[in-house]
Amino acid sequence: MEKPKIPVITIDGPTASGKGTVAQKVAQQLGFHYLDSGALYRLTALSVLRRGIALNDEHALAKAAEHLHCHFDGAHIFLSNEDVTQAIRAEEVGNTASKIAALITVRQALYGLQLSFRKPPGLVADGRDMGTVIFPGARLKVFLTASVEARATRRYKQLIDKGFSANIEDLSRDLKERDERDMSRSSAPLKPAEGAYHLDTSDMTADEAVQQVLSWYAALGH
């Protein structure tokens, strides 16, 4: 059962659309808590890859998600007590996360953990199903998109800046495959939530997108 008096802003959208950056900045501006739900799936994926769990062993995958020992400290993400902020951004981890996120057992295993991030004074949550499944009663729902070309370019820059090797063509193909997987899965497919505001950031800076979200939130009144 959702707590009615703690405001939530959900920002859903496809991979590399910029929703994480926007959500973090909106949370910072409002003094709200922040949930990167995608990080939970990436953490599960990293744990699964390290332990050699087969991607067709649904029971073991769900168990890995259910017993995830993680915490967030500012921009840093920890698995047990190891800082894995960079490790979970590797493409192999992202692709694995997208595959296991299609499993309803894994999504159910992470459901309660995601709800636990809703604390006073409020929460900004980004992901694929924040507004449709996890926080359907959110005060503001945003569906944030960008063209595949813009997203591939952003992801390329992110990876190069962090010291990973990358190829634009491969990234574009991976993004299209992930989009298809995320939108066609039977459990919590990627789609705009009912009543969501649409925001295409292909030709926007992160700060412009943040100001638009804050404007929508302010217009709702508190």
User: What is the model's pLDDT at position 102?
Assistant: 86
Question: Is 131 annotated as a binding-site member?
Answer: no
Question: Is 96 annotated as a binding-site member?
Answer: no
pLDDT of 20 > 50? The answer is yes
Question: Is 16 annotated as a binding-site member?
Answer: yes
36-66 pLDDT per residue, tens:
999 999 999 999 999 999 999 999 999 999 9
Q: What is the mean pLDDT of the chain?
A: 92
Give me the residue spans of the domains in the chain.
8-217
203-215 pLDDT per residue, tens:
999 999 999 999 9
Question: Is 119 annotated as a binding-site member?
Answer: no
Question: Is 94 annotated as a binding-site member?
Answer: no
Question: Is 4 annotated as a binding-site member?
Answer: no
92-115 pLDDT per residue, tens:
998 899 899 889 999 999 999 999
- 89-98, 136-145, 185-194: which is most confident: 136-145
Question: Is 13 annotated as a binding-site member?
Answer: yes
User: What is the model's pLDDT at position 4?
Assistant: 56
What 3-state DSSP class applies to 125? strand
The span from the CA of 206 to the CA of 22, in Å, is 6
Give the CATH fold of the 8-217 domain.
Rossmann fold (3.40.50)
95-127 as b/e: b if 16+ CB within 10 A: ebbbbbbbbeebbebbeeebbebbeeebbbbbb
Question: Is 195 annotated as a binding-site member?
Answer: no
The span from the CA of 217 to the CA of 27, in Å, is 12
What 3-state DSSP class applies to 110? helix
Question: Is 20 annotated as a binding-site member?
Answer: yes
**Gyration radius (Cα) of the chain, Å:** 17
pLDDT of 155 > 60? The answer is yes
Residues 6+ apart with CB under 8 A from 52: none
